[in-house]
């Protein structure tokens, strides 16, 4: 039987640790931990009263992920559920959330700017970021600071571009793996005087483990930095393109264990084509010795076309969005405090079309189901403050006010998309309308150094998300209007962070969150607001260095995510209050043990063994169907063979376990995205001379 700790019990545990560990742990000063995401300027994150994690460029290079979920195993509280190819669903202090607007619970950004426009999120949006060659990935868990608005509720994933190097750095790498997997990566970086440039490009082709599946993907990140006497500027151009032949769910109880069918693709006709382009320039200037002004104009363009293989009538969706935005911030540094205050403006033109080639039934007819455009405007003002009181106390507080306006234009006929013989038409197009939302968020936190290298912190924060355009205007079953409110989430967390003898770094956080006005689809297939959910848990990260050669690391999560109100959910007739939300494993995480060894000619090498654990989880709201969970092992070894050449071997699923990357229950049957068996990936890289 599973046991559950209450939120109060978790808080009491962390407080007890905070009071009793300091004397034993405090020895020497811990190294500074640089964080950019909280205030968008580099700062020491060690004392921030905030739960955060980061994955360094070196860690990303060793993992060499073929899918972002492989790298995000190193973030406590995060589980990126892999679909087929490059598809994914995010869980960050949350269940895996599905549905038209579920992706709005998370903010995914590149250099602090959302990858998608507010109101136009996409569950797969992480494939728009060049995470394979990022300078670092930073994650804020729970509601973010006031510098981030709609969608930054359950957390923020920020992919940071790599800054230009001080000297010439030029490298090319090629990689080969099972099932016709090939990848090439190139980077160039240098700084001359006031000018710095960083170029990172990669291309991948994957034949796919499943039949009639695979993808081709290209990504590029170009960064130019200028440091003048008065103005500094950093410009980043990000591009991503994906052409994927998608495999659908494999149906049947534990079908992923059946060797005779596990490679079957029930939807060989499915595909997904996606392209994204982002450009921003951050201009900054010191106004005096205390104040720095930063002005960041940006543009964003996204296009996607895919077959909805997950529904029997299989329509095709095309969507695109183009955005122009401006962010301004005034950063003020005083003797013992700092302020970040600013304004944000963004305008987006978005369009969505869904059409079906063949008749499926009178309720799902051929032809155009939806065809609409939305002009979305967002304006926000924010202020975030941080102060030190002596050597022991650190305080922070922030406030944000945000206004969102949607101007919806239906380009198809108003009303039902079906003919007169339809009994319950699945598609309904509301008439032209406009909607607006005014939301605010606030946060306050305090950290106290109970010893030289140990601090305890307390944080209260709330987050919000305005309804997504698909929730408002992509209606079903005769719903003429969706009267939706913004979702709101309140969070309280207690944390313990520190170091011991320069050998162990630890970070423990416990949290309790309540979410109100949750948007869901009811039994009539209407999009409605009003549900409540409850979330609490504990996250632990340990980094222990045994000596100069051996290290051990752990990132673990225990959490509970439940329905906290009576809810008339689509497909459910039972009372759901108190039930665990589907797609919410109670425990998950990873542990790694590594050896830094002297390689050939005294060049550096690393051998790392990783254990990835995922607990069982329910597949539907009634908690009647379940996935058993799994344990996987991965092995990585990387070493230089001389001053120019490096070889890296990665073996995934070392013990060749049968498992599912993701499971659910729909249309009366178990459905799985099948995990791949053991695979070996070999990478050879060459470092050019200066």
The tens digit of pLDDT for each residue in 185-205 reads 999 999 999 999 999 999 999
Tell me the C-alpha distance between 403 and 46, whole Å. Answer: 33
On the question of pLDDT at 597 being above 60, the answer is: yes
Domain boundaries, the chain: 7-293+308-317+358-363+412-430+453-687
The average pLDDT across 608-624 equals 96
- Amino acid 599: pLDDT: 65
Residue whose tokens read 């090319």? 172
Number of other residues whose CB lies within 10 A of the CB of residue 131: 20
Q: 20-74 pLDDT, tens per residue?
A: 443 333 333 444 588 999 888 888 888 999 999 999 999 999 999 999 999 999 9
State the pLDDT confidence band at 566, using cuts at 50, 70 and 90.
Answer: confident
Tell me the C-alpha distance between 371 and 361, whole Å. Answer: 20
Q: What is the number of residues in the chain?
A: 690
- Amino acid 598: pLDDT: 81
Q: 499-514 pLDDT, tens per residue?
A: 988 899 999 999 999 9
Listed in sequence order, the residues at least 6 apart from 440 whose beta carbon sits closer than 8 Å to its beta carbon are 399, 400, 401, 402, 464
- Amino acid 603: pLDDT: 63
- Amino acid 61: pLDDT: 96
Tell me the C-alpha distance between 84 and 126, whole Å. Answer: 14
What one-character-per-residue DSSP string does 650-688 give? EEESTT----EEEEEEETTEEEEEEPP--EEEEEEEEEP
- Amino acid 572: pLDDT: 65
Residue whose tokens read 């500027």? 233
Entry pTM:
0.93
Q: 402-424 pLDDT, tens per residue?
A: 999 999 999 999 999 999 999 99
On the question of pLDDT at 304 being above 70, the answer is: yes
- Amino acid 32: pLDDT: 58
Q: 84-137 pLDDT, tens per residue?
A: 999 999 999 999 998 878 889 999 999 999 999 989 999 999 999 999 999 999
- Amino acid 85: pLDDT: 95
> Hey, CA dihedral for 105, 108, 114, 120, is it positive or negative?
negative
The average pLDDT across 664-673 equals 91
Q: What percent of the chain has pLDDT over 90?
A: 84
- Amino acid 170: pLDDT: 97
- Amino acid 40: pLDDT: 87
Q: 257-269 pLDDT, tens per residue?
A: 999 999 999 999 9
Look up the CATH number of domain 7-293+308-317+358-363+412-430+453-687. Answer: 2.40.170.20
Q: 511-538 pLDDT, tens per residue?
A: 999 999 999 988 888 999 999 999 999 9
For 487, the 3-state DSSP assignment is strand
Bridge partners, residue 631, by sequence:
613
- Amino acid 690: pLDDT: 61
- Amino acid 102: pLDDT: 84
Q: 474-507 pLDDT, tens per residue?
A: 999 889 999 999 999 999 999 999 998 889 999 9
What φ, ψ does residue 8 adopt, rounded to 5°? -65, -40
Nearest to 179 by CA among 663, 679, 686, 567: 679
Nearest to 466 by CA among 374, 384, 560: 374
On the question of pLDDT at 340 being above 80, the answer is: yes
């Amino acid at each position: 039987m599973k046991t559950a700790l209450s939120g109060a019990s978790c808080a009491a545990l962390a407080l007890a640790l905070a009071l009793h560990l300091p004397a034993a742990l405090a020895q020497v000063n811990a190294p500074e931990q640089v964080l950019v995401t909280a205030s968008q300027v580099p700062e020491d994150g060690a004392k921030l009263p905030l739960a955060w994690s980061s994955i360094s460029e070196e860690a990303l290079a060793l993992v060499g992920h073929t899918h972002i979920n492989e790298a995000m195993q190193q973030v406590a509280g995060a589980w990126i559920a892999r679909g087929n190819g490059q598809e994914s669903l995010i869980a960050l202090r949350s269940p895996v959330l599905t549905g038209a607007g579920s992706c709005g619970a998370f903010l995914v950004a590149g250099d602090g700017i959302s990858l998608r426009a507010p109101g136009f999120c996409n569950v797969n949006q992480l494939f728009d970021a060049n995470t394979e060659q990022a300078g670092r990935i930073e994650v804020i868990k729970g509601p973010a600071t006031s510098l981030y608005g709609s969608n930054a509720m359950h957390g923020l994933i920020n992919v940071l571009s790599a800054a230009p190097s001080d000297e010439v750095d030029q490298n090319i790498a090629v990689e080969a793996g099972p099932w016709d997997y090939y990848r090439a990566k190139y980077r160039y970086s240098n700084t001359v005087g006031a000018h710095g440039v960083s170029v990172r490009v990669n291309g991948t082709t994957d034949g796919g483990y499943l039949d009639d599946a695979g993808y081709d993907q290209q990504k590029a990140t170009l960064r130019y930095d200028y440091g003048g006497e008065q103005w500094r500027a950093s410009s980043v151009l990000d591009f991503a393109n994906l052409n994927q032949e998608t495999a659908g769910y494999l149906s049947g109880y534990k079908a992923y264990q059946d060797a005779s069918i596990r490679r079957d693709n029930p939807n060989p006709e499915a595909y997904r084509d996606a392209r994204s382009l982002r450009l921003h320039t951050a201009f900054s200037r010191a106004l005096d010795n205390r104040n720095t002004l930063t002005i960041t104009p940006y543009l964003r363009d996204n296009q996607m076309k895919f077959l909805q293989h997950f529904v029997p009538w299989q329509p095709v969706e095309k969507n695109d969005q183009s955005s122009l935005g401006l962010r301004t911030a005034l950063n003020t540094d005083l003797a013992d405090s700092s302020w970040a205050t600013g304004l944000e403006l963004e305008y987006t033109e978005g369009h969505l079309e869904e059409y079906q080639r063949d008749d499926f039934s009178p309720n799902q007819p051929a032809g155009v189901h939806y065809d609409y455009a939305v002009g979305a405007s967002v304006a926000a003002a924010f202020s975030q403050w941080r102060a030190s009181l002596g050597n022991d106390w650190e305080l922070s507080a922030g406030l944000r006010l945000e206004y969102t306006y949607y101007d919806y234009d239906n380009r198809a006929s108003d009303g039902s998309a079906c003919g007169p013989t339809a009994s319950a038409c699945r598609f309904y197009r509301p008439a032209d309308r406009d909607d607006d939302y005014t939301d605010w968020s606030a946060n306050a936190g305090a950290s106290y150094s109970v010893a030289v290298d140990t601090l305890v912190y307390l944080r209260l924060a709330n987050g919000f998300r305005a309804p997504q355009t698909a929730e408002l205007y992509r209606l079903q079953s005769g719903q003429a209007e969706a009267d939706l409110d913004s979702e709101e989430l309140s969070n309280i967390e207690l944390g313990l962070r520190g170091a011991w003898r320069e050998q162990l770094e630890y970070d423990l956080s416990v949290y309790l969150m309540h979410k109100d006005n949750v948007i869901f689809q009811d039994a009539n297939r209407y999009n409605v607001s009003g549900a409540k959910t409850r979330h609490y848990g504990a996250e632990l990260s340990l980094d222990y260095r045994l000596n100069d050669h051996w290290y051990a690391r752990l990132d673990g999560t225990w959490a509970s995510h439940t329905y906290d109100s009576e809810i008339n959910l689509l497909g459910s007739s039972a009372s759901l209050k108190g039930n665990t939300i589907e797609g919410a494993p109670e425990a998950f995480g990873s542990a790694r043990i590594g050896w830094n060894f002297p390689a050939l000619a005294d060049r550096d090498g690393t051998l790392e063994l990783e254990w990835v654990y995922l607990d069982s989880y329910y597949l539907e709201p009634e908690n009647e169907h379940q996935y058993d969970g799994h344990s996987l092992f991965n092995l990585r070894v990387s070493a230089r063979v001389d001053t120019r050449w490096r070889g890296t071997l990665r073996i995934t699923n070392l013990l060749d376990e049968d498992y599912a990357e993701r499971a659910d229950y729909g249309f009366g049957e178990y459905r799985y995205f099948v995990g791949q068996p053991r695979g070996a990936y070999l990478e050879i890289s060459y470092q050019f001379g200066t």
